[in-house]
Amino acid sequence: MKASGCIVTYNAVSGANKKKLLFDAIENLTAFSKDVDFTLYIVDNASSDGTAQAVKEYFRDNKAVKVIANRENKGFGKAHNQIIDLLESDYHFVINPDIIVKDDVIGKLCAFMESKPACGMASPDIRFPDGRVQVLAKRHPKLKYLVSSRLAGDRENNKNLREYAMLDADLSKPLQIENCSGCFFCIRTALFKELGGFDDRYFMYFEDFDLARTVGKRAEIWYCPDACVYHEWGRDSKRNSKLMLIHVQSTMKYFVKWTFKR
């Protein structure tokens, strides 16, 4: 069985913690994935801190790691899409640079999807580094969820966010969901290619929601609790006005597209 993965980076080695997260993610993803033929692509969006070169040098002896250096920042979805024609895998993983893996999550999700032929896309259990559950969307976005996400202090006990993340379901068992977070998910490569990847009209944010909504019209989407990753969640758009504007623009694109789509 063949699997592939892609991490899109942008100034990912400018701080010691960011660099460690990225390098640990690359090293552990490739080291643990022994039961599958795994290739990991790092697509760098014209970082000014030398991310592409740093990854190339550090992982020069790791044949599973392929680095692509862009001359411009193409955005999240478009950068992921540019490797589609290179993929020869059965399953493809979209991975954030701040993901922490502690075991063979790649093999576990591949095996899970092998056991469910109707499953086109799957999410692992996603937690904070300290083990707390992350309140991430498992249902399609609604305005009430997004407002709560921005304003809620206590996320786990917020009624709307519990509904959004399906926290009141039995998350110890696999279950069908509507949405996978773009920080880490698995998709059948053939389906990813058929769909042309992400809708690259989103520069960043909501492209994962959009893809899941499209996948859901063709295949099942599942949550697999036996596979777990840990996510160093930054919420950068809450602190950066430029990212917040991009977030708002993507929100509008999503709701216009899916409200009026027939």
Rounded Cα gap, residues 167 and 157, in angstroms? 10
Torsion from C-alpha of 176, 181, 187, 189, nearest 10 degrees: 160
116-135 b/e (C-beta count within 10 Å ≥ 16 → b): eeebbbbbbbbbeeeeeebb
Q: What is the pLDDT of residue 162?
A: 93
- Nearest partner of 101 among 28, 151, 203, judged by Cα: 28
What local confidence, expressed as pLDDT, does residue 233 receive? 75
What the block records as the tokens of 20 is 């460690």
- 3-state SS, 89-135, equals CCEEEEECCCEECCCCHHHHHHHHHHCCCCEEEEEEEEECCCCCECC
**What six digits make up the tokens of 241?**
């006005």
Give the Cα separation of 257 and 181 in Å (integer). 19
Q: What dotted CATH number matches 2-260?
A: 3.90.550.10
| Residue extents of the structural domains in the chain | 2-260
For each of the chain's 262 residues, which pLDDT tens digit applies?
A: 999 999 999 999 998 899 999 999 999 999 999 889 999 999 999 999 999 999 999 999 999 999 999 999 999 999 999 999 999 999 999 999 999 999 999 999 999 999 999 999 999 999 999 999 999 999 999 888 888 877 666 677 788 999 999 999 999 999 999 999 999 999 999 999 999 999 999 999 999 999 999 999 999 999 999 999 999 976 554 567 788 899 999 999 999 998 866 4
> Could you tell me the pTM of the whole model?
0.94
